[in-house]
Structure formats: structure tokens, C-alpha cells
Amino acid sequence: MRTVLLLGGTSEARRLAESLAGRLRVVSSLAGRVRDPRLPPGEVRVGGFGGVEGFRAWLLANPVDAVVDATHPFAATMTATAAQVTAELGIPFVVLRRPGWVQQPGDDWRWVDSVSEAARSLPGERVFLTIGREELKEFAHLPQWFLVRSVDPPVGPVPDRTHVLLDRGPFTVDGEIALMRAHDVDVLVAKDSGGEMTAAKLTAARELALPVVIVRRPPLPDVPTVDSVAGVLRWLGTDVA
């Protein structure tokens, strides 16, 4: 049975592990940034590899036939590490990236290239931050009021005027509208993560005529890339439906 290392943590990675269960040996690797992650079927390892040298050492000690990167679209460091090391070792490698969100009529999106640029570009005073918990320090010095939503409590410094909401998607449009109205939000900040799990906030912002500061994805290395679980299955040459 062929062995696939699946760099996961996304809903697509879980669906891929489910599709491959019983057909291939899948080892799913999670970064460990969420305290209570939704575990995929099969073998699971949790925690980082220790950079390029650590990832190379792990692959040499745990031979695999292919590596699939289905990490978050903003996990640029892991993707770059995997691309470099698999190329050095001659291991087939593919990146699974779901499509980004597409702006719709009525949207007021303000594109930026980084979270730090987003912090410098806030067109409002009551800010709904949906960027995860690890980059809140970029906003810590700002005087605005912030609603911060994340799966786990924030790490590091946060703005003085912050209300933290611990929650996990999927979210509904009605729920997002009610949340934004209840907190009198006047601007949304998001990363272009794509997918349906958290897209409702964008529809809610459109219906409420709120601006959205949205962070562009980091560029991908020059590697094979697909945008769906089915694309990975075809790349692996499986007959899994």
C-alpha cells in the first residue's frame, strides 16, 4: 500500500483523508495550532517539523511515496518548506488550494498584501477581525474597538478595546448579520481563505453595506497545484470517487 503524507488542518484535507481511507496509507500532519482539532481518519501526527532540516529528517526517517500539501492558504512557510525538501529528495508533491473568494456586485472590498497593511488601512472604528489569533499583535497599538473571533483564545498582545468571541464555523449569513449588528461593526477584516465555512461573513458585510479589508494570499511556489479533492485523487492516480 502506497504511503501519502498529507499536510492538513483544512476541511479539504479531512475530506481527502476520508476519500483515501482503505485505499492508501495516509499520514495526516497537523500543525497543532488549534487545541481541539477535528481529526481526520487514519494516522495523525501533531506539531511542526522544525523547519527545512526537520522536515528533511522526518521524510528520511519515514519514507513516503507522495506529499500532499492541503494546509491553509496562508501557511506559506510550510508550503515553501515542503516544496523545497520534496524537490531535493525527489518525492512527488502537489498543493491542494481551494479557490479564493470572488468579489460580487455590491461588495466593497479593500485589498491589501499583508495583515500589517490591513492594520494601517482600517476605514472604521468598530472592527470585526477574522484573521485568526496569531497576528493580532499587528492591531495591538490601535485605538479602535475590536471584535475578535477565533477558535482558541488569542496569543500575544491584543488591542486594549477587544471583545473575544470563541467560535468555529460553519457560520450562517443570518447569524453573521445579527452578530455584526449586535456589536455595531462598521468594518470587516478577513484573509482570502476561500471556502464555504466562513464565507457567510462576506455576504453579511455586503448586505449591511460594510467595507471589507481583505488580505491577499501569499504566492505559491512553482509546483503542481490543484483546487479540489478530486484533483488530488486524479494526481494520485486513484479510482476513489
Q: What is the pLDDT of residues 41-65, one digit of tens each?
A: 888 998 889 999 999 999 999 999 9
Instruction: Answer yes or no: is 150 within a domain.
Output: yes
Instruction: Answer yes or no: is 11 within a domain.
Output: yes
pLDDT confidence tier of residue 164, bands split at 50, 70 and 90: very high
Report the pLDDT value the prediction gives residue 239, as an integer from 0 to 100.
Answer: 57
Report the pLDDT value the prediction gives residue 172, as an integer from 0 to 100.
Answer: 96
Rounded CA-CA distance 172/199 in Å is 9
Report the pLDDT value the prediction gives residue 63, as an integer from 0 to 100.
Answer: 92
Residue 195 and residue 132 in one domain: yes
pLDDT confidence tier of residue 169, bands split at 50, 70 and 90: confident
User: How many folded domains does the chain comprise?
Assistant: 2
Report the pLDDT value the prediction gives residue 4, as an integer from 0 to 100.
Answer: 95
Angle between the 76-89 and 51-61 helix axes, to the nearest 10 degrees? 50
What average pLDDT does the segment 19-47 reach? 83
Higher-confidence position of 208 and 2: 208
Q: What is the CATH number of the domain that holds 137?
A: 3.40.50
Kindly report the number of other CB atoms within 10 A of residue 234's CB atom. 12
Residue 155 and residue 124 in one domain: yes
Instruction: Answer yes or no: is 241 within a domain.
Output: no
Residue 124 and residue 185 in one domain: yes
Report the pLDDT value the prediction gives residue 31, as an integer from 0 to 100.
Answer: 81
Domain that holds residue 206: 108-215
CB 127 within 8 A of CB 189: yes
